[in-house]
Amino acid sequence: MNRFKKISLALLMATAVMSAATVSQAQMKDPDVGGSPMYPSKNIVENALNSKDHTTLVAAVKAAGLVDTLEGAGPFTVFTPTNEAFAKLPAGTVDTLLKPENKDQLTKVLTYHVVAGKVSSKDLVKMIKAGGGKAELKTVSGGTLTATAKGKKIMLTDEKGGMATVTIANVYQSNGVIHVIDSVLLPN
């Protein structure tokens, strides 16, 4: 092979490697939640602290004394309501839940959004199909959430019949995965 062909081949290979690296980096981009990237190397609490869409949730987790738990090894699957989700609750509900005397009730509501283990949206879809159109998820609080699919969206129904839609799925954390939801789920 002459020198020109070797240089051309080397340049072509270098371009292919650089293109593959760029695609790989783009595929690994950390998803944004609340305007901030969510890093898979950080835990659930560390990432939530950076999301402007989850300030109410962070305040509630602190008030319930659940920071250490959600910073733990897990793995956990957390369905994380946004500030807008909390705003859908009747007026005064969040303020009432955040009072020290209501810590047990707040803890029950928050742990109702947590499932032990790492459950991706793909896992949820498989569970829903295996369950004939629905999957029951046992929460850390001891309650049950029912997952269903509506088109390509995953819906969660709480024990009171309230529904939430997963708006951002598969935000991986060092100790689990979060799925952002648009409503607060309430236990019985």
* Rounded CA separation 121/39 (Å): 18
Annotation: CATH topology of 31-181: FAS1 domain (2.30.180)
Provide the pLDDT confidence category of residue 42 given band limits of 50, 70 and 90: confident
Provide the pLDDT confidence category of residue 5 given band limits of 50, 70 and 90: very low
Half-sphere exposure of 167 (CA within 13 A, CB side): 16
- 121 and 79 Cβ atoms separated by less than 8 Å: no
- The β-bridge relationship of strands 135-138 and 144-150 is antiparallel
pLDDT of residue 28: 40
Q: What is the pTM of this model?
A: 0.79
How far apart, in Å, are the Cα atoms of 141 and each of 29, 63, 109, 111, 137? Answer: 33, 17, 8, 5, 11
DSSP 146: E
